[in-house]
Amino acid sequence: MTKKLELNPDMSYMLGLHQCNKQDSYVGVASASNELIERFVRLALYDLKIEPNKILVEEGKAIFYNSKIRKLFDSALGRRIKIFKYRNDYASNYLAALFDCNGGIDRKGLFMRNLEGADEMIMENIGFHSAKAGTKNYVFNQNEFLAFIRPYSIRANHSPAR
């Protein structure tokens, strides 16, 4: 295994899932969306080459234990402002994963919950402005944001453009 994560758009999505579901001992995703869990498992199997018997799937959750991959993900997250500085498929996949984990639309508009400062900065740097209200960041240019993440997002494909 290399010392840096070999990034591609799918790994960018996986990195976004890891950001949403960071744990000290494993890599995983917890969600009510079976589609999201299936995508996580598919990426773990085919892109990360995790053996099928190493992935634990329960109702609403899929995880695997691999300290090397977790450390690579954590290291990449430490550099994410530099990694996702362009409006491209890498940033789109990363933000799509954040939206799939913690995003939604309510009466005030499109939002993402619990964004860290680095993720807010990524959004600002590539032109998606937001305002914080409690734990939610509401995206101002939400139609443009949805168009940007829609090719890679599970949830955005079920969300109407406003």
Confidence at residue 158, expressed as pLDDT on a 0 to 100 scale: 66
Are 41 and 54 within 8 A, CB to CB?
no
- How far apart are alpha carbons 133 and 123 in whole angstroms? 16
Question: 127 in the Ramachandran plot: left (φ > 0), alpha (ψ -120 to 50) or beta?
Answer: left
Show the beta-strand stretches assigned E in the chain. 27-30, 55-58, 61-64, 103-106, 109-113, 130-133, 136-139
pLDDT at 6: 87
Q: What is the pLDDT of residue 160?
A: 52
Angle among Cα 137, 139, 140 to the nearest 5 degrees reads 135
Separation in Å, CA 110 to CA 8, 21, 27: 27, 21, 27
Q: What was the pLDDT predicted at 90?
A: 98
CA distances from 13 to 21, 29, 44, 107, 135 (A): 12, 12, 11, 27, 22
What was the pLDDT predicted at 156? 84
Mean pLDDT, each 10-residue run in order, the chain (162 residues): 78 97 91 95 96 95 95 95 97 98 95 96 97 96 96 80 46
Q: What is the pLDDT of residue 24?
A: 81
CA distance 136 to 112: 6
What pLDDT score does 162 carry?
43
